[in-house]
Structure 1
Amino acid sequence: MNNYIDIGINLTNRQFEGDIDDIIQDALDEEVLQMILTGTSVRNSQASAQLAKQYPDVLYSTAGIHPHDAKSMTNESIPALRKLLQMKQVVSVGECGLDFDRDFSPRPIQEKCYKAHLALATEVQKPLFLHERAAFSRFVSITKEHLPKLPQGVVHCFTGTLTEAKAYLDMGFYLGFTGAISDVKRFSHLKEVLTYVPLDKIMIETDAPFMLPKNVPTGSLKKYHERRNEPAFLPYVAGTIAQFKGISLDKVAEATTANAKQFFNLNVK
């Protein structure tokens, strides 16, 4: 029996409204025994923490402001996140970082918001759940300024180049991989990345309801939700990694679960 941990799901997304109990049970049935809800704004982080509280030792959450929402940050935001991070079910600072691909928030505001998260993580010493898209050079520059005092970090939903992966590994970070790795048309380069990245630096996530793995059988998709990703599909991410690295699924499950337990300081199940 393989046990899995999904380090990133958006369970407060409206696509899951009215479905949460079933989503969690379906995940448990597929041996996805623990899941971490991603906080993307103060309000969303609060909602995620409350939801995680209802499923102790199964659901956990992060607390942060996604770069898309950086423009929502006020003087009250960091104190509100700090309060959330005092809760035992809130295990990580983030999602935070830079996204220069869509620029939903102005870049200077994104940078200010990210720096505030780095300072907060240094203060509370809980690990970082990081987001970087089309902002590699600036992201690395800012992060390195804080690096000596930072706790551990994971660059989630990694789809970057091998050169970028090596840079993050050199900084001591983990890499989180989603169903994007099974998209051989759009992300064919990730096979080379995964072949290189050591297993002890890999974690897995669905980023549900987004990033549906291409290798999920059609019969497993629920009627009316043919494009919705779910934490129950996490084993398909692990299976792709096993295929790319030429190792057993058991090894991928064991390593990624151990990595996540240590990184997020989760209760052992």
Structure 2
Amino acid sequence: MPAYFDIAVNLVGSALEHELDTVIEDAAKLRVSPLLVIGSDLAESAKALALTQAHPRRLYCTAGVHPHQASSWNDASTAELTQLCSAAQVVALGECGLDYNRDFSPRPVQRRVFAAQLELATKLNMPVFMHERDANRDFIAIVREYRPHLPNALLHCFTGDRAMLEACLALDLHLGITGWVCDERRGQELAALVPDIPDERIMIETDSPYLLPRNLRPKPKSSKNKPEYLPHISEHIAGLRGQDPSQFAALCYHNSLRFFGLERDHVGT
């Protein structure tokens, strides 16, 4: 059975939090391990870090401020985030980026806070875990400024068009693909683009509990997505790319370990 690394799991502050032990165990039974727990603001990032420390090697996390929470950034945030990122379990700075779809924070604030976090990542020499929705032009412009000084950069939950794909690849970004690609209504454009992502740039994720794959059978009683469904997503993407499912899973697993600097911790798995 292949091994899988789910690079985006919202275990803190979501519907999965009250059943996290079961979520972790059910995923591990299918060799979906480790899981990357996402921090969306500084308080949530601290909780994610504490959770990873209670589940060594099974969980790692990010630390950062999502664009929805950009208005929470203040004069103390850089120091607080720097402290969080000093922990070994924090393997990327983020989730940071731009979201013009909901505009929960004003756009100028989003841009300023995104740039501040990229600047910090360059100083800490850390990979960044990024979010973008309906903000292609500004997102690419800001990332282009900092990309030469970042060791690695990932746009998670990629759902862009061909122009966005080409812009991301030109900036040497890694791309995370979710169960969005399994949606026959919304995912058709992404399904057509997935074969064009280079082998060394693609990773897979559930972004659970969101984006439950619509073609999952039997259909789960709960609408919650879970890391245990990652093998289904992986197999579907492998079919779109014309690749052997086991080989594709291994490719994504090792891409993820390399990106987050975890090869030494999980060699031979």
Quick check: TM above 0.5? yes
Helix, strand or coil for the counterpart of 1:15?
coil
Structure 1 residue 192 and structure 2 residue 188: aligned? no
Identify which of 233, 241, 245 aligns with 2:241.
245
Structure 1 residue 91 and structure 2 residue 87: aligned? no
Matches within 5 A, 1:4-83: 4-83=4-83
Structure 1 residue 228 and structure 2 residue 224: aligned? yes
User: 1:70 corresponds to which letter in structure 2?
Assistant: A
User: 1:204 corresponds to which letter in structure 2?
Assistant: I
The offset of 1:192, in angstroms, is 1.6
The offset of 1:70, in angstroms, is 0.1
Where does structure 2 lack aligned partners over 5 or more consecutive residues? none
Percent of aligned pairs sharing the same letter: 38
User: 1:135 corresponds to which letter in structure 2?
Assistant: A
- Between the aligned partners of 1:78 and 1:205, the Cα distance in structure 2 is 28
Instruction: List per-residue Cα deviations over 1:2-30 (Å, max 9, x = no partner).
Output: 00000000001341233111100000011
Helix, strand or coil for the counterpart of 1:157?
coil
Contact 1:71–1:106, Cα closer than 8 Å, also in 2 = yes
User: 1:231 corresponds to which letter in structure 2?
Assistant: P
Structure 1 residue 262 and structure 2 residue 268: aligned? no
User: 1:17 corresponds to which letter in structure 2?
Assistant: E
The offset of 1:258, in angstroms, is 0.6
User: 1:152 corresponds to which letter in structure 2?
Assistant: N
Normalised to the residue count of structure 1, the TM-score between the two structures is 0.96
Helix, strand or coil for the counterpart of 1:189?
helix
Structure 1 residue 209 and structure 2 residue 209: aligned? yes
The offset of 1:251, in angstroms, is 1.4
- Between the aligned partners of 2:22 and 2:161, the Cα distance in structure 1 is 36
Structure 1 residue 166 and structure 2 residue 166: aligned? yes
- Between the aligned partners of 1:78 and 1:182, the Cα distance in structure 2 is 38
- Between the aligned partners of 1:151 and 1:113, the Cα distance in structure 2 is 20
Contact 1:215–1:236, Cα closer than 8 Å, also in 2 = no
- Between the aligned partners of 1:108 and 1:134, the Cα distance in structure 2 is 15
- Between the aligned partners of 1:45 and 1:216, the Cα distance in structure 2 is 31
Instruction: List per-residue Cα deviations over 1:162-203 (Å, max 9, x = no partner).
Output: 221111011010000000000021120112210111121100
- Between the aligned partners of 1:195 and 1:119, the Cα distance in structure 2 is 32
User: 1:138 corresponds to which letter in structure 2?
Assistant: D
- Between the aligned partners of 2:131 and 2:17, the Cα distance in structure 1 is 25
Contact 1:180–1:211, Cα closer than 8 Å, also in 2 = yes
- Between the aligned partners of 2:93 and 2:259, the Cα distance in structure 1 is 12
Alignment length (residue pairs): 265
Where does structure 1 differ by over 3 angstroms across 4 or more consecutive aligned residues?
none
- Between the aligned partners of 1:100 and 1:16, the Cα distance in structure 2 is 26
How well do the aligned residues superpose, as a CA RMSD in angstroms?
1.0
Helix, strand or coil for the counterpart of 1:244?
helix
